[in-house]
Amino acid sequence: MSLQTSTQPTSPVQQALREALIAGVVSFGLFFFFIGLKTDQNIRNELVLVTRWGLLATVVILTMIVRFLYVAYAVPFLARQKIADAVTGLLPDSTGTKFFRVPFFIGSLVLAALLIVFGSAIVAWTGPNIGAYVTLIRAFAIIYAVAAIMFYGRAFIGRNFASIGIVSLILYPILVVVILALLAWSNGSANITSAAFQGSLKWVDNFGIQILIYVMLAWGLNIVVGLAGLLDLGYVAFYAVGAYSYALLGTHFGLSFWILLPMAGILAAFWGVMLGFPVLRLRGDYLAIVTLAFGEIIRLVLINWREVTNGSAGISGVPKVSFFGWFTFNVSDPNYISKVFDIPQSGAYYKIFLYYLILALALLTAFVTIRLRRMPVGRAWEALREDEIACRSLGINTTSTKLTAFAIGAMFGGFAGSFFAARQGFVSPESFVFLESAIILAIVVLGGMGSLVGIAIAALVMVGGTEALREMEFLKSFFGQDFTPELYRMLLFGMAMVVVMLWKPRGFASSREPTAFLRERKAVSGSFTKEGHG
Amino acid sequence: MSDAANMSTPILKLEHLSMKFGGLVAIGDLSFEARRGEITALIGPNGAGKTTVFNCITGFYKPTEGMITMTRRDGSTHLLERLPNHEIPAKAKVARTFQNIRLFSGMTLLENLLVAQHNKLMVASGYTILGLFGFSGYKRAAAESVELAKYWLEKAELLDRADDPAGDLPYGAQRRLEIARAMCTEPELLCLDEPAAGLNPRESLALNELLMSIRDETGTSILLIEHDMSVVMQISDHVVVLEYGRKISDGDPASVRSDPKVIAAYLGVDDEEVGDVLVEVGDEQVIEELDVAPDPEHGPGASSSMFAGAVSDTIEHSDEDERIAVSKGASKAAQVEAKEARSAEAPDTPSKGAK
Ligand SMILES: Nc1ncnc2c1ncn2[C@@H]1O[C@H](COP(=O)(O)OP(=O)(O)OP(=O)(O)O)[C@@H](O)[C@H]1O
Ligand SMILES: [Mg+2]
């Protein structure tokens, strides 16, 4: 039997059938208990066993179909492509040019435009269930068009990545408002501007600000972990220090954000040094554990020191940021923005203002990091990550070098924290759990330790991706009405991490930009750099 | 202090230096001097304690007893056993390289040499604050530091690879880069731990030239650990021989070479053909046979772990079980001494060892 199969070459379809069957059996075995059976409580509070054969069958069949398609078509296809560009992991140009054709591009543009203009009419006609698909198709059309533009402009984008990124970040809220105004206009809504501003809240706040906060935090932590190679699992402590210093000083003394922002940074840096002094003698795992404990201590202090922090109830009514005192965003104030400029009231102005504020703070972090890397301290941080003994033999005071990394990283954490307090208007210890530290660290690692662009992309994918899950209403039509996609965010986060780490073990940006050069700036491959061990 | 007087004082003076790891005496009552402007070689069989001497001089270990005095060109003296680790290169101007190369492998050659000028650049950048705002003083200092780096890259014949990562270099070039990096701290005493290990004859020759030009052009004194006798004999002005942590010979290369204790220590033979022995020791194959890597539990292994804590941490780790008593008669040099003593008592017996 085995002789026969080995002499007779099997066709991919045959093999795919066999592998699909195997996959079906395996997934059946796996999911039988996970999906097929469910324990539940009935009205009399008894435990009953619910069977879900339909769902089990769907999952198993889906697994088999995917396996079949993968083995029968995807594998030979990839083999024919002589697997892609080893550096980027992307498919070679020939595939790209086949996929991104000008007619398709124009088609997608037309489709997107049509669905934007007539989308609401179609939804009104078909009902919300099919309407969800309309939105999905529209999203795909737009994504395709954007991807096509990026594909054809990839050389240009590659060259000017940073400036394009900054410009598009600056334009982002404006674009959102304009697009929403167009949509409102197509819906024939009565008040186009207010509808546009109201609708922009979600995009600017949930996506823009949320992602940028994580970008800033990850860039701050990057100084400690990515550059100096010190594994810090308690970074969120400094975020908490920043947030509480703004919340407490702002509510009790009524000081303005612009005074408290630097103060929060300084306080966080102070705590960074306080933690650093005893702790930096430790290395690797020990340092990680002690920083983790520090993060928890700060949180427990916040919970238990009720007289000052109001315990787990948190502090509410944290003052809003004003526009340097020129106008404010409190409706009751005499110089409220809409009174100053004579425009309709909207909460969106504050969010857009906050967006630009966090963008400025994040860019400040990036700017300082880039400057510092080219300064002696920055080089010493990286040298410390590479080899601490060698640093000491060159006369570098490793303790103070580590302390500066800790303090500066903590300072940016503090800035982000005070911004966070101002944005939420409310702080409580809930926001500063270990999971936050872990997410920030995961973003740094996924982005490629030390690379600002890589980290920004990782934050976009991770935070933006999990936020996007909330938008995936159409999934409900597959999995039933009580399916809440955002509950699966941690699962997806974990899966994405595994995939990225397999595909690019050193993160998205796995090479290192040298800080000085004689003739040409050549990126240093990640295989030479070290992660540090303390 | 006048220059002449300064010249006569030794640059480095070790007095009664002892280093014990638990029960193991790695260095016992060692005294020697390294003279200014000379190349002093420190040789000895494996495990003799040479690297330990370096670690004491450069502050990685705090010696159990003894005094290490460094006299700088300007006449100031520094007691190295009292200075913290990182101040030894900065204040006493002692630089070193490592037996197992320690480069910043993910940084370019140029960056490696710039990191070595950290302290100077830190001051020039006003401890980062002035530099952050682009003050011209820092820019000038930065340009100067690049020039110095270029000079040493040129010397080490690595200029054309300045923008490559250090980890990408072949072994011999890494050794030269480590020396160039140490020189960028502008030391007065350069301590090299087996710089010729693993080099081919051509690279070894180039290294000799580099070392001699460092001595002659910058006036830097060199303390050198080396197994390759051809290197030692050619370039050193003064040789100190260790065995089991004790000095068994001290003098110019020719006299050391013919010292029966040295010969015995190296090969454990004391018959007529001793004259050839050292040449044989220079033979690479013999060295390879002798060259057992230092015990990773004790010696400075590849991991950084030993150094990273306080020195006491590393000492603590050798516990009672590791107490090593040098077995009676292990020291070949001691055997020769004993034999000499015996032959002095009985003058009628002709001494072979004294030859
Ligand atoms: N940190 C330490 N703890 C315990 N023992 C140590 C330590 N460092 C060195 N030793 C021991 O001291 C002795 C001398 O070691 P050292 O590394 O100085 O020898 P060496 O002369 O440099 O040898 P090689 O030629 O192999 O480099 C060895 O027995 C070694 O095991
Ligand atoms: Mg050694």
Tell me how far CA of residue B289 lies from CA of A16, A411, B244, in angstroms: 57, 55, 18
Are B127 and B87 found together in one domain?
Answer: no
Cα separation, A22 vs B43, whole angstroms: 67
Inspect the interface and report whether the beta carbons of A382 and B164 lie closer than 8 Å. no
Cα separation, B280 vs B269, whole angstroms: 12
**Cα dihedral sign, A147-A149-A152-A158:** negative
DSSP state string for B45-113: STTSSHHHHHHHHTTSS--SEEEEEEE-TTS-EEETTTS-TTHIIIII-EEE--SS----TTSBHHHHH
- Of the listed ranges A312-321, A409-418, B201-210, the least confidently predicted one is A312-321
Q: Counting atoms of ligand 1 from 1, which one is nearest the CA of B315?
A: 3
Reported as a single tens digit per residue, the pLDDT across A17-29 is 888 899 899 988 8
A chain contacts of residue B96, beta-carbon cutoff 8 Å: 393
User: Which residues lie across from A193 on neighbouring strands?
Assistant: none
Tell me how far CA of residue B160 lies from CA of A131, B108, B110, B222, in angstroms: 64, 12, 11, 27
B314 lines ligand 1 (CB under 6 A): yes
List the single residue in B111, B162, B165 with the smallest CB-CB distance to A379: B111
A chain contacts of residue B159, beta-carbon cutoff 8 Å: 518
Are B291 and B251 found together in one domain?
Answer: no
A309 C-alpha to center of ligand 1: Å? 56
B197 C-alpha to center of ligand 2: Å? 11
Domain end call among B160, B185, B210: B185
Judged against a pLDDT cut of 50, whether residue B325 lies above it is answered with no
Q: Counting atoms of ligand 1 from 1, which one is nearest the CA of B61?
A: 1
Tell me how far CA of residue B278 lies from CA of B207, B208, B235, B283, B330, in angstroms: 21, 19, 16, 9, 20
B196 lines ligand 1 (CB under 6 A): no
Helix (H, G, I), strand (E, B) or coil at A460: helix
Q: Does some domain include residue A27?
A: yes
Inspect the interface and report whether the beta carbons of A376 and B89 lie closer than 8 Å. no
Cα separation, A59 vs A40, whole angstroms: 21
B chain contacts of residue A373, beta-carbon cutoff 8 Å: none
Q: Residue A362 — very low, low, confident or very high, per pLDDT cuts 50/70/90?
A: very high
Are B173 and B89 found together in one domain?
Answer: no
Q: Among A92-96, B22-26, B171-175, which range has the highest average pLDDT? A: B171-175
- Spell out the SS3 assignment of A175-210: HHHHHHHHHHHHHCCCCHHHHHHHHHHHHHHHHHHH
A75 contact partners, CB below 8 Å, separation of at least 6: A12
pLDDT at site A180:
77
Q: Domain containing A3: what range?
A: 1-90
Torsion angle in degrees (nearest 10) through CA of A498, A502, A508, A512 = 130
Cα separation, A486 vs A467, whole angstroms: 8
Among B232, B101, A394, CA closest to B223: B232
Tell me how far CA of residue B24 lies from CA of A7, A307, A322, B18, B99, in angstroms: 68, 58, 69, 11, 21
Reported as a single tens digit per residue, the pLDDT across A108-125 is 888 888 877 777 677 777
Q: Does some domain include residue B350?
A: no
Inspect the interface and report whether the beta carbons of B146 and A516 lie closer than 8 Å. yes
Cα separation, A147 vs A78, whole angstroms: 21
Q: Which residue has the tokens 């509950």?
A: A487
Over residues B177-202, mean pLDDT:
88
Inspect the interface and report whether the beta carbons of A396 and B304 lie closer than 8 Å. no
The CA-based angle B224-B227-B232, given to 5 degrees, is 55
Judged against a pLDDT cut of 50, whether residue B312 lies above it is answered with no
Q: Does some domain include residue B64?
A: yes
Residue of B nearest to A284 (CA): B305
Are B223 and B254 found together in one domain?
Answer: yes
Q: DSSP assignment, residue B298?
A: T
Residue of B nearest to A395 (CA): B86
Alpha helices, H only, chain B: 3-8, 50-57, 87, 109-115, 118-124, 129-132, 136-155, 171-183, 201-213, 229-235, 253-257, 260-267, 274-282, 284-290, 305-308, 311-316, 332-345
Q: Which ligand is nearest to the CA of B311?
A: 1
Are A296 and A434 found together in one domain?
Answer: yes
With beta carbons less than 8 A apart as the criterion, state whether A236 and A432 touch: yes
Q: Does some domain include residue A190?
A: yes
Cβ neighbours, 10 Å, residue A200: 25
The number of folded domains in chain B is: 3
Q: For residues B313 and A367, which has the higher predicted lDDT (pLDDT)?
A: A367
Domain end call among A69, A90, A111: A90
Q: Does some domain include residue A241?
A: yes
- Of the listed ranges A8-12, A305-309, A376-380, the least confidently predicted one is A8-12
Tell me if chain A has a CB within 8 Å of the CB of B143. Answer: no
Alpha helices, H only, A202-347: 210-222, 236-253, 257-279, 284-304, 306-309, 337-341
The CA-based diameter of chain A, rounded to the nearest angstrom, is 90
Are B217 and B78 found together in one domain?
Answer: yes
CA A299 to chain centre: 23
Q: Does some domain include residue B200?
A: yes
Cα separation, B52 vs B60, whole angstroms: 9
User: Which residues lie across from B27 on neighbouring strands?
Assistant: B19
List the single residue in A368, A528, A534 with the smallest CB-CB distance to B168: A528
DSSP state string for A30-84: HHIIIIIEEEEE-TTS-EEEEE-HHHHHHHHHHHHHHHHHIIIIIHHHHHHTT--
Cα separation, B130 vs B143, whole angstroms: 16
What is the interface size between A and B, counted as CB pairs within 8 Å? 147
% residues pLDDT > 90 (chain B): 3
Are B13 and B68 found together in one domain?
Answer: yes
Are A60 and A164 found together in one domain?
Answer: no
Nearest CA to ligand 1 atom 3: B298
A73 C-alpha to center of ligand 2: Å? 59
Q: Residue B313 — very low, low, confident or very high, per pLDDT cuts 50/70/90?
A: very low
User: What's the CATH code of the domain at A359?
Assistant: 1.10.3470
Are B48 and B86 found together in one domain?
Answer: yes
Are B20 and B84 found together in one domain?
Answer: yes
Reported as a single tens digit per residue, the pLDDT across B199-238 is 888 888 888 888 888 888 888 888 989 887 777 888 888 8
Reported as a single tens digit per residue, the pLDDT across A438-462 is 889 988 888 887 788 888 888 888 8
Its pTM surpasses 0.80: no
Domain end call among A73, A90, A107: A90
Are A53 and A174 found together in one domain?
Answer: no
**Residues 99-118, chain B: which have Cβ within 8 Å of A?**
102-108, 110-111, 114-118
Q: Residue B133 — very low, low, confident or very high, per pLDDT cuts 50/70/90?
A: low
Mutate to test the pocket of ligand 1, among B288, B298, B306 (most ligand atoms within 8 A of CB): B298
Q: Which two tokens stand for residue A463?
A: 């935070």
Encoded amino acid at A377, one letter: V
Cα separation, A189 vs B268, whole angstroms: 101
Are A188 and A54 found together in one domain?
Answer: no
Are A70 and A204 found together in one domain?
Answer: no
User: Phi/psi at A461 (nearest 5 deg)?
Assistant: -70, -45
B50 C-alpha to center of ligand 2: Å? 6
Find which of B51, B113, B122 to mutate to test the A interface (most A CBs within 10 Å of its CB): B122
Q: What rounded mean pLDDT belongs to chain A?
A: 80
pLDDT at site A374:
86
Are B62 and B9 found together in one domain?
Answer: yes
Encoded amino acid at A165, one letter: G
Cβ neighbours, 10 Å, residue A258: 11
Q: Does some domain include residue B354?
A: no
Are A180 and A52 found together in one domain?
Answer: no
**Cα dihedral sign, A443-A446-A452-A453:** negative
Q: Domain containing B134: what range?
A: 105-185
The CA-based angle A523-A527-A532, given to 5 degrees, is 100
Are B317 and B245 found together in one domain?
Answer: no
Are A343 and A440 found together in one domain?
Answer: yes
Q: Which two tokens stand for residue A344?
A: 């309709």
Inspect the interface and report whether the beta carbons of A389 and B164 lie closer than 8 Å. no
Q: Does some domain include residue A102?
A: no
Reported as a single tens digit per residue, the pLDDT across A237-285 is 999 999 999 998 888 887 888 888 999 999 999 998 988 888 877 777 8
Helix (H, G, I), strand (E, B) or coil at A228: coil
Find which of A364, A518, A520 to mutate to test the B interface (most B CBs within 10 Å of its CB): A518
Domain end call among A45, A70, A90: A90
Among A269, A296, A422, A271, CA closest to A304: A296
Cα separation, A404 vs A410, whole angstroms: 10
Are B66 and B208 found together in one domain?
Answer: yes
Q: DSSP assignment, residue B148?
A: H
Q: DSSP assignment, residue A328?
A: B
Q: Does some domain include residue B267?
A: no
Over residues A494-509, mean pLDDT:
76
A chain contacts of residue B168, beta-carbon cutoff 8 Å: 528
Which residues of A sit within 8 Å Cβ distance of B?
Answer: 281, 283, 368, 371-372, 375-377, 379-380, 382-383, 386-398, 404, 512, 514-522, 524-525, 528-530, 533-534
Judged against a pLDDT cut of 70, whether residue A81 lies above it is answered with no
Tell me if chain A has a CB within 8 Å of the CB of B255. Answer: no
Cα separation, B29 vs B17, whole angstroms: 5
Judged against a pLDDT cut of 50, whether residue B283 lies above it is answered with no
Q: Residue A92 — very low, low, confident or very high, per pLDDT cuts 50/70/90?
A: low
Domain end call among B152, B185, B218: B185
Find which of B115, B119, B133 to mutate to test the A interface (most A CBs within 10 Å of its CB): B115
Nearest CA to ligand 1 atom 14: B49
Tell me how far CA of residue B197 lies from CA of A137, A183, B239, B294, B353, in angstroms: 67, 73, 18, 14, 31
Among A373, A406, A383, A129, CA closest to A282: A406
Are A72 and A206 found together in one domain?
Answer: no
Cα separation, B19 vs B2, whole angstroms: 35
B chain contacts of residue A530, beta-carbon cutoff 8 Å: 105-106
List the single residue in A283, A396, A522 with the smallest CB-CB distance to B86: A396
Inspect the interface and report whether the beta carbons of A375 and B131 lie closer than 8 Å. yes
Q: For residues B237 and B341, which has the higher predicted lDDT (pLDDT)?
A: B237
Q: DSSP assignment, residue A331?
A: T
Tell me how far CA of residue B261 lies from CA of B44, B250, B353, in angstroms: 11, 11, 8
User: What's the CATH code of the domain at B13?
Assistant: 3.40.50.300
Domain end call among B185, B206, B239: B185
Are B311 and B238 found together in one domain?
Answer: no
Judged against a pLDDT cut of 60, whether residue B158 lies above it is answered with yes
Q: Residue B272 — very low, low, confident or very high, per pLDDT cuts 50/70/90?
A: very low
Q: Does some domain include residue B133?
A: yes
The number of folded domains in chain A is: 2
Tell me if chain A has a CB within 8 Å of the CB of B123. Answer: no
Are A61 and A181 found together in one domain?
Answer: no
Over residues A363-382, mean pLDDT:
90
Q: DSSP assignment, residue B27?
A: E
Q: Does some domain include residue A46?
A: yes
